Amino acid sequence: MQEFSYMQIYFAIASVATTAVFGVLLVALFYALGILRDIKKLSGLARREAEFIARSVGKEAGILGAELSEGAANFVKTLFALLISKAVKPKIRRVRKI
């Protein structure tokens, strides 16, 4: 019967631990990719909705008799896009060092 040395036991435990950590990191990566994919879909949807709202504002102004110029329509579209982009991006908070 062959005896195990401390070095062999260490390498066996290190191999199992490395494999376990790799598995946990792989699962976390899949979750992160799923979340990023959902965020990408939501931002595309928000962009399309902002364009729809801008077109609707332009049509409603035309119905009321106050035709919006192309510049005003672009301004409304840009305004909604900025509002959506501010809602999507997380705010960076600076930490004061004492």
So where are the chain's domains?
Answer: 6-88
Which residue did the predictor score with more confidence, 2 or 25?
Answer: 25
| pTM of the predicted model as reported, rounded to 2 decimal places | 0.47
What does the pLDDT read at residue 33?
Answer: 95
- Are 43 and 88 in contact, with CB atoms under 8 Å apart? yes
Q: Would you place residue 30 in the very low, low, confident or very high pLDDT band (cuts 50, 70, 90)?
A: very high
What does the pLDDT read at residue 55?
Answer: 78
Q: Would you place residue 1 in the very low, low, confident or very high pLDDT band (cuts 50, 70, 90)?
A: very low
Per-residue pLDDT tens for 38-96? 998 888 888 888 888 777 776 766 554 455 566 666 777 777 777 777 666 556 667 77
- Are 44 and 85 in contact, with CB atoms under 8 Å apart? no
Which residue did the predictor score with more confidence, 14 or 57?
Answer: 14
For residue 66, give the DSSP letter. -
Residue type at position 55: R
What does the pLDDT read at residue 56?
Answer: 78
